[in-house]
Amino acid sequence: MARMDYNRTAKRVFVGLSGGVDSSVSAALLKRAGYNVTGVFIRVWQPDFFECGWRDDRLDAMRICAKLDIPFRELNLEKEYKREVVDYMIREYKAGKTPNPDVMCNRFIKFGAFYNWARTEGADFIATGHYARIQPLTINYLPLTQRPEVKSQRLKVKSHGLFVGSDPQKDQSYFLWQIRQEQLPHILFPVGGMKKPEVRKLAKKFGLITADKKDSQGLCFIGKVDMKEFLSHYIKEKPGKVLNEKGNVIGEHKGIFFYTIGERFGLPLFLRGGMRGSEKAQYVIAKDFRKNTLTVSEKTKGLLLGATWKVRIERCNWITSPKKGSTYSARLRYRQPFQNCKMKSVTAHKALISFAKPQQPASGQSLVLYDGEMMLGGGIIV
Query: Which pLDDT tens digit goes with each residue over 232-253?
Result: 889 998 999 999 888 999 888 9
Residue 65 annotated among the catalytic residues of the structure: no
Please report which confidence band the pLDDT of residue 305 belongs to, taking 50, 70 and 90 as the band edges.
low
Please name every residue paired with 340 in a beta bridge, in sequence order, or none if there are none. 329
* CA pair distance 303, 338, nearest whole angstrom: 16
Q: pLDDT at position 24, please?
A: 98
In this predicted structure, the answer to whether residue 258 has a pLDDT above a threshold of 90 is no
Q: pLDDT at position 229, please?
A: 81
Where is 62: in which H helix or E strand? helix 54-68
Q: Looking at 65, 105, 316, 341, which residue is catalytic?
A: 105
In this predicted structure, the answer to whether residue 139 has a pLDDT above a threshold of 80 is no
Mean local confidence (pLDDT), 185-203: 97
What mean pLDDT is reported for the chain?
87
**What's this model's pTM, rounded to 2 decimal places?**
0.85
Q: Looking at 52, 65, 220, 316, which residue is catalytic?
A: 220
Which residues 6+ apart lie within 8 Å of 120 measured at CB? none
User: What domains, with CATH codes, occur in the chain?
Assistant: 12-206 (3.40.50.620), 236-302 (2.30.30.280), 308-381 (2.40.30.10)
Q: Which of these ranges, 17-21, 184-188, 215-219, has the smallest mean pLDDT? A: 215-219
Q: pLDDT at position 46, please?
A: 86
Predicted confidence (pLDDT) per residue in 79-130, tens digit: 999 999 999 999 999 888 889 999 999 999 999 999 999 999 999 999 999 9
Q: Report yes or no: 366 and 380 within 8 Å, Cβ to Cβ.
A: yes
CA-based nearest residue to 118, from 220, 4, 17, 6: 17
Q: 36-50, 57-71, 216-230, 242-256 — which one is most confidently predicted on average?
A: 57-71
In this predicted structure, the answer to whether residue 32 has a pLDDT above a threshold of 90 is yes
Q: pLDDT at position 8, please?
A: 52
Predicted confidence (pLDDT) per residue in 52-70, tens digit: 678 899 999 999 999 999 9
CA-based nearest residue to 244, from 284, 216, 275: 284
Is the dihedral angle over the CA atoms 257, 262, 264, 270 positive or is it negative?
positive
Of 33 and 298, the structure prediction assigns the larger pLDDT to 33
DSSP state of 29: H
In this predicted structure, the answer to whether residue 382 has a pLDDT above a threshold of 50 is yes
Q: Report yes or no: 26 and 190 within 8 Å, Cβ to Cβ.
A: yes
Residue 316 annotated among the catalytic residues of the structure: no
Burial class for 373, CB neighbours closer than 10 Å (0-12, 13-18, 19+)? middle
Q: pLDDT at position 265, please?
A: 79
Q: Which of these ranges, 8-17, 183-192, 243-252, has the smallest mean pLDDT? A: 8-17
Triad 17, 55, 231: Cα angle to 5°: 95
Mean local confidence (pLDDT), 268-274: 44
